[in-house]
Amino acid sequence: MTSKNEDRSQTLILAAYHTIAEKGFEGLRLREVADRVGLNHATLHHYFPTKEALVQAVVLYVTQRFAQTVPIGETPVEQLRSHLHLIQQLMQEEPALFIALNEAKLRAQRDPIIRITVQKQAEAWHEFLVNILREGIKQGNWSESLDVEAVASAIIALINSTNIGLSSKRTKQAMQQLERWLELND
Amino acid sequence: MTSKNEDRSQTLILAAYHTIAEKGFEGLRLREVADRVGLNHATLHHYFPTKEALVQAVVLYVTQRFAQTVPIGETPVEQLRSHLHLIQQLMQEEPALFIALNEAKLRAQRDPIIRITVQKQAEAWHEFLVNILREGIKQGNWSESLDVEAVASAIIALINSTNIGLSSKRTKQAMQQLERWLELND
Amino acid sequence: MTSKNEDRSQTLILAAYHTIAEKGFEGLRLREVADRVGLNHATLHHYFPTKEALVQAVVLYVTQRFAQTVPIGETPVEQLRSHLHLIQQLMQEEPALFIALNEAKLRAQRDPIIRITVQKQAEAWHEFLVNILREGIKQGNWSESLDVEAVASAIIALINSTNIGLSSKRTKQAMQQLERWLELND
Amino acid sequence: MTSKNEDRSQTLILAAYHTIAEKGFEGLRLREVADRVGLNHATLHHYFPTKEALVQAVVLYVTQRFAQTVPIGETPVEQLRSHLHLIQQLMQEEPALFIALNEAKLRAQRDPIIRITVQKQAEAWHEFLVNILREGIKQGNWSESLDVEAVASAIIALINSTNIGLSSKRTKQAMQQLERWLELND
DNA sequence: CATGAATGAGATTTCATTCAT
DNA sequence: CATGAATGAAATCTCATTCAT
């Protein structure tokens, strides 16, 4: 049954994702992944023929998970605010996701296939932010002189690294400052 | 002779640093490091008893290299601008440094000893920024309502992740936007 | 199948035991053990995760083999005589066992886990001898003034080291003298 | 200077001897031996060109040390008693000697050169005991029917293994029983 | 003699992957 | 599909020994 197949695959991806978050790609062992799921390590190869295949699936999963922070809100300002809040919420609820994402981004630099996945998501995110900003300008929320591309890039850069190399206190401060710069606070 | 000894150590650290930048901690092989230096891999253990010791030395080297971006300038504004420019310059000249730094930060999450090194540098950097900002406020360059801690955190967060998961074009945009937000442009 | 699994384990233990008898713990190489069985050396780790685990298994095997010299005989005197004869027979047929036992005893001094195994067997043996002697005294075979504990200790000490540092001729002499002291000869 | 040379050699032998007693031949590392003496490990090779050479020197030293338990006493009985007492004293004062001796005996089985040293000492000891016993028979201390060769072998065998695989309590018991069998007690 | 540096050979251990059952 | 067994390739680390200084 395909559904069962996909269930198993999904469970394996989840297990691998958590292992990567805990120990990095460096510490990813197929046997451990299989153990976490209660599967024989050889059976894992039925679902993912090679380690690389599993890693790719994890990267895809992680980027998609992140992309699902769909904001709600009527106005662009509300949307952006909601977007940032959802991300902050995710940071607290599932910090593993951000660690795994950063692992993926570093690996993307050496692994062309992963690079494609990661870049695609980055582009989509950038476009999404640009659209919100443009709409906001149209509606008079932000000045017309705003360099939307640059602001989008700055938002992404800032969010990317929070939660990594920064204490959660500093992370919160940085996000707060971002909101101030974007004039989202009131 | 100590100097020769330290030369070799230093050369090994450099070789390891470049290997990490190219292949990540994941792809760090002692044999390759020794080969790059033209040394027998057993000799490497003469200088660094374990792989972990070498890794720690690399992390120390990388953080110190980064900490040496000492800004020049009379006024706080000039200092901050110079600081950001130096970093941007370093990004272009030696992107490896930022990759290695990010590797180190990820690894810091699992390795307590590396964590100490990384955290120390982060704190020092944060303090350095806070001091500049405070001085700038005193001199009337920035509003007294500026949340210096938050701004420092935001600067760090933003710089941390540029060059990773962002194309160099986007990186430049983000840095430019940062300067705008900091009112450093004119 | 468990039986096959245990077969392989057992074969590996045997191979290791013979290697130890030939070359001592000093000369025990996992590769050689695996080669003797016709197995890849990595497969050995499938059965014994570490060298230490294999060594422990060998020590257990050797002590158990020795403990199986169950004597036959109706009376205590016959039992003791039979016991000593069985041991002498074992000495001739399989001197390797005694060498390995002595290796184990020396190693027991530094290795707590092995020490437990070795001590347990020693205690059991001592108790076994004491019981025979006590029964013999009860039946009038030995004087009531016999210090059973001391005699048991002496028997063990003497047997322990025969075959080691003694030529087989001298070993036989020593065993013969022991029998005389125990008045087992007629 | 030869005397200094020999001093150094001797110190190295002593250090090696203690290392062997603590960790067995298995755990003997030239670097550690040199460290114990405060010598550079390369310098050790000036005194002993190879590890084997040092090992041989240790074995020689150990056997000679043991051979120096020269008994005092007028009559053969007194001599034998004194001999056994001296050995028991040595066992308590320097158990390391007996451990190292047993290590040597095991190694003698694989190493022809060491075997010669060990056998020589064993023969000398045997002869020494036989002589005492013969003299004792002549003086009427023991029965003429005593099998001196066998008794000597038994004494050696028993002493050899005491202190190894036997608790010190059991060792004492065994030695006591040996004295009883030899009618040395009063 | 003393020493730090260097090395070759080898030992244990790990792990992704394959395969027969 | 599931699984234990097996393996090749490699990685880290150890250590006796040599050598230039």
CA of A53: nucleotide with nearest C1': E16
Q: pLDDT band at B26, cuts 50/70/90? A: very high
pLDDT at C1: 43
| Contact C180/D at CB under 8 A | yes
Nearest CA-CA distance, residue B153 and chain A, Å: 5
Residues of B in contact with A107 (CB under 8 A): 24, 26
pLDDT at D74: 80
pLDDT at B72: 78
pLDDT at A162: 72
**D29 CB neighbours strand E below 7 A:** no
CB burial of C84-99 (b: ≥16 within 10 Å; e: otherwise) equals bbebbebbeeebebbb
Q: With beta carbons less than 8 A apart as the criterion, state whether A70 and A128 touch.
A: no
Residues of C in contact with D99 (CB under 8 A): 106, 109
CATH number for the domain whose boundaries are B62-181:
1.10.357.10
- What is the SS3 assignment for C78? helix
Q: What is the mean pLDDT of residues D29-40?
A: 96
Interface test with D, best of C106, C114, C169, C171 (most D CBs within 10 A): C106
Long-range contacts of A164-169 (CB under 8 A, 24+ apart): A164/A98, A164/A99, A164/A102, A164/B102, A164/B105, A164/B106, A164/B109, A164/B160, A164/B161, A165/B102, A165/B105, A165/B108, A165/B118, A165/B122, A165/B160, A166/B122, A166/B153, A166/B156, A166/B157, A166/B160, A168/A91, A168/A92
H-type alpha helices, chain C = 2-23, 30-37, 41-47, 51-67, 76-93, 95-108, 112-138, 148-161, 168-181
Residue D115, classified by CB atoms within 10 Å of its CB into exposed (0-12), middle (13-18) or buried (19+), is: middle
Task: For A28-95, give the DSSP string.
Answer: --HHHHHHHHT--HHHHHHH-SSHHHHHHHHHHHHHHHHHT-----SSHHHHHHHHHHHHHHHHHH-H
pLDDT at B186: 58
Q: What percent of chain D has pLDDT over 90?
A: 80
- What is the SS3 assignment for D20? helix
| Contact A23/B at CB under 8 A | yes
DSSP-derived secondary structure letter, C167: -
Task: For B157-180, give the DSSP string.
Answer: HHHHHTTSSS-HHHHHHHHHHHHH
Each residue's pLDDT tens digit, C59-68: 999 999 988 8
CATH number for the domain whose boundaries are B2-56:
1.10.10.60
pLDDT at B4: 57
Where do the structural domains in chain A lie, given as residue ranges? 2-54, 62-181
Each residue's pLDDT tens digit, B93-146: 999 999 999 999 999 999 999 999 999 999 999 999 999 999 999 999 999 999
Q: Which CATH class is domain D2-55?
A: mainly alpha
Q: Name chain B's partners: 3 or more CB pairs within 8 A.
A: A
Q: How far is the CA of D43 from the C1' of F21 (A)?
A: 14
For F17, nearest residue by CA–C1' is D50
pLDDT at D4: 60
Which has more confidence, D174 or B162? D174
CA of D51: nucleotide with nearest C1': F16
Each residue's pLDDT tens digit, D100-150: 999 999 999 999 999 999 999 999 999 999 999 999 999 999 999 999 999
Each residue's pLDDT tens digit, C69-85: 777 778 999 999 999 99
DSSP-derived secondary structure letter, B35: H
CA of B27: nucleotide with nearest C1': F11
Give the closest residue to B172 by CA, choosing from B79, B77, B87: B87
Terminal Cα distance for chain C, rounded: 52
Residue of chain C whose alpha carbon sits nearest to that of D63: C165
Residues of C in contact with D181 (CB under 8 A): 154, 181
- Residues 74-113 of chain A with CB under 8 A from chain B are 99, 102-103, 105-110
Dihedral angle over CA of D150, D152, D157, D162, nearest 10: 140
Residue of chain D whose alpha carbon sits nearest to that of C102: D106
Q: With beta carbons less than 8 A apart as the criterion, state whether C83 and C1 touch.
A: no
CA distance D153 to D156: 5
- Which fold, A2-54? Arc Repressor Mutant, subunit A (1.10.10)
pLDDT higher than threshold 90 for residue D5 = no
Which has more confidence, C6 or D154? D154
Residue where the block lists tokens 């350095």: B128
Terminal Cα distance for chain B, rounded: 52
Mean pLDDT of chain B: 91
Q: pLDDT band at C34, cuts 50/70/90? A: very high
Interface test with B, best of A127, A170, A186 (most B CBs within 10 A): A170
Give the closest residue to A55 by CA, choosing from A124, A113, A116: A113
Residue of chain A whose alpha carbon sits nearest to that of B182: A181
Chain Cα centroid distance, residue B45 = 26
CA distance B135 to B126: 14
Q: How far is the CA of D27 from the C1' of F16 (A)?
A: 14
Q: Name chain A's partners: 3 or more CB pairs within 8 A.
A: B
pLDDT at D99: 94
pLDDT higher than threshold 70 for residue B11 = yes
CA distance C87 to C89: 5
Flag whether D touches A (3+ CB pairs, 8 A cutoff).
Answer: no
pLDDT at C5: 65
**D33 CB neighbours strand F below 7 A:** no
Minimum mean pLDDT range among A38-42, B81-85, D166-170: D166-170
DSSP-derived secondary structure letter, D90: H
pLDDT higher than threshold 60 for residue B2 = no
Chain D 30-69, CB < 7 Å to strand E: 39-43, 46
Q: Tell me the CB-side half-sphere exposure of residue A98, using CA atoms within 13 A.
A: 25
| Contact D162/C at CB under 8 A | yes
Q: Which of B103, B174, B181 sits opposite A106 (nearest CB)?
A: B103
Minimum mean pLDDT range among B60-64, B104-108, D64-68: D64-68
| Contact D184/C at CB under 8 A | no
CA of C41: nucleotide with nearest C1': F7
Q: pLDDT tens track of chain A, all 186 residues? A: 455 667 889 999 999 999 999 999 999 999 999 999 999 999 999 999 999 999 999 999 999 998 887 777 788 999 999 999 999 999 999 999 999 999 999 999 999 999 999 999 999 999 999 999 999 999 999 999 999 999 999 999 999 877 677 888 899 899 999 999 998 875
pLDDT at D1: 46
State whether the Cα torsion A20-A22-A23-A24 is positive or negative.
positive
Task: For C104-139, give the DSSP string.
Answer: HHHHHTT-HHHHHHHHHHHHHHHHHHHHHHHHHHHT
Residue of chain B whose alpha carbon sits nearest to that of A174: B154
**Numbers of helices and strands, H then E, in chain B:** 9, 0
Nearest CA-CA distance, residue A18 and chain B, Å: 14
pLDDT at C2: 47
CA distance D124 to A180: 96
CA distance A90 to A97: 8
Q: Which nucleotides of F are covered by protein (CB under 7 A)?
A: 1-20
Residue C127, classified by CB atoms within 10 Å of its CB into exposed (0-12), middle (13-18) or buried (19+), is: exposed
- What is the SS3 assignment for A19? helix
Residues of B in contact with A25 (CB under 8 A): 24, 26
CB pairs under 8 A between C and D: 139
Give the closest residue to B98 by CA, choosing from B20, B11, B178, B182: B20
Q: How far is the CA of C1 from the C1' of E21 (A)?
A: 11
Mean pLDDT of chain D: 91
What's chain C's Rg over C-alpha atoms? 19
CA distance C57 to C6: 12
